[in-house]
Structure 1
Amino acid sequence: MTALQKVTNTLESLPTTAFLVLDQGRTVLDHGTTTTPSFLASARKSVLSVLYGPAVADGTIRLEATLDELGIDDIGGLLPEERRATVRDLLTSRSGVYHPATAAAGPEDDAPARGTQPPGTLFLYNNWDFNTLGTIFERCTGRPISPRWPKTWRHRSVSRTSTRLVSGCSAAPTSLSTSRTTSSSPPATSAGSARCCCSRAGGTTGKSSPHPG
């Protein structure tokens, strides 16, 4: 039995409607109704993870950069313990930040009390983490996450969902609310100032510093 056959057998044992694998434009596996539109939820999480790969590989984004170093804050403020969460913690849904998110996914309803779980310890499917990752990606890469990508990025297009993301990676202090704003309203003002901790920053403010290399 080939590896692809094993994958196909697994797919048939699950409620999978469609599964498509492409490698440099070549179809590797086409299973199910891949040509028929169907309901799809939480796709941005997988796409964001893919987009992070090149940005991490070239040093634009550091996985160990903390929310504090990046100047991330939210309405009402984050707790000191929550500010210690890293980009890696957010990508693995282990941030320990249980600040209310726009359009909660559901599991957040059972989240522990804020400040009780150190970053990197407890897995919890949490939309706040991915709302924040979108903001970090746009600020550090200068690339928008929206249906209107620059031509060179259209093949990586992903739609915005529940949060208004802030573009650019400015070294100047700015107000930033990560996950309590919506795509139809401007960013809410928060107590914290946005600072860069990524290699493309022209400078830094406060105690943050550019990626060391």
Structure 2
Amino acid sequence: MVENYLHATGFYHVSRIGVIRGFHPLLAALRPETHTFVLLVSEVTVTLEDVAHIFGLPIDEEPSQSIAIFGREPVVSHSSKSYIKLEPLDTEESIRRYVRCQIFYLLGSTLFTDKSTAYAHAKYLPLLRDFERIHTYSWGSACLAHFYRALCHASRYNTKEMDGPLNLLFVWAWKRMPCIAPVPRQTLPPAEIPVAMRWSHSKRTTA
């Protein structure tokens, strides 16, 4: 039942992606003003089609960046610990509430990550208020915009760590340069989406 609701929101594919570990020496070849990587063979970049193929996210719907400012600002607890109590998944509304929490987790842990790796920004909560509209947003384009912004920050001389959807960077590089890719943990048909599932929970190689 939960999978059916994730399908309805457009987040089913990305919810199947596990932890992907890697490294990003590509930053040395980054041209930040164009968000492209200058390689010996050509100048390349991550596109919307890459996001759709790697993460399985919708890219042709309503832009989700501007919609983030709509709605009432969520109340943030001043307590050191805040919890959301989930009821048993025995009603349609309880399942929807669970799916919203799952999507919120994916937004903070996979698509729009920051360097904290432990928090998800409350600004995404209004996007999940209307369950019937979640699937109408172009999450892929928002993810790509966040990725480009992270590349710009990572290119600065005083930046020590990169945030953003690193899974997107790793899988994009591994697909185009198999010589640096870890051995896929899962064998998938060529057209299977999301492609990132091939390296879910993979270990880094020394290739």
Name the TM tier (shorter chain): 0.3 to 0.5
- TM-score, with length taken from structure 1: 0.32
Tell me which of the two structures has the higher relative contact order, counting C-alpha pairs closer than 8 angstroms and 6 or more residues apart: 2
More helix by share: 2
